[in-house]
Amino acid sequence: IISHGMPFPQNAQTAIEVEETIRKQGAVPATIAIIGGVMKVGLSKEEIELLGREGHNVTKVSRRDLPFVVAAGKNGATTVASTMIIA
């Protein structure tokens, strides 16, 4: 929802608020994306804001797209399928 679901800044703010709620419950949030070609499990506030600002310019990445986005050094918003592979 960060890149393709909501407009900026609501998208980034919502993601950050959800992560804060998770932390308050004693769990560790692990938002997944590809940043600069690196698959990441757990994003910084700055990375969430980057994805939110770039919005639809961020590549939507399913499992077939993972090698291309990583090799190209791009940013990618993961689908459920690619999120499961990365996790």
* Domain coverage including residue 70: 10-86
1 lies in some domain: no
* Per-residue confidence (pLDDT) for residue 64, from 0 to 100: 98
C-alpha separations of 42 from 35, 47 in Å: 11, 10
2 found inside a domain: no
What is residue 56's predicted lDDT score, i.e. its pLDDT? Answer: 95
Q: What is the pLDDT of residues 22-80, one digit of tens each?
A: 999 999 999 999 999 999 999 999 999 999 999 999 999 999 999 999 999 999 999 99
* 41 within some domain: yes
Identify the pLDDT of residue 80.
97
Grade residue 1 by pLDDT with cuts at 50, 70 and 90: confident
List, in order, residues 6 or more apart from 54 with CB less than 8 Å away. 3, 75
Supply the pLDDT for residue 60. Answer: 97
Is 3 contained in some domain? no
Q: Mean pLDDT over residues 5-29, rounded?
A: 97
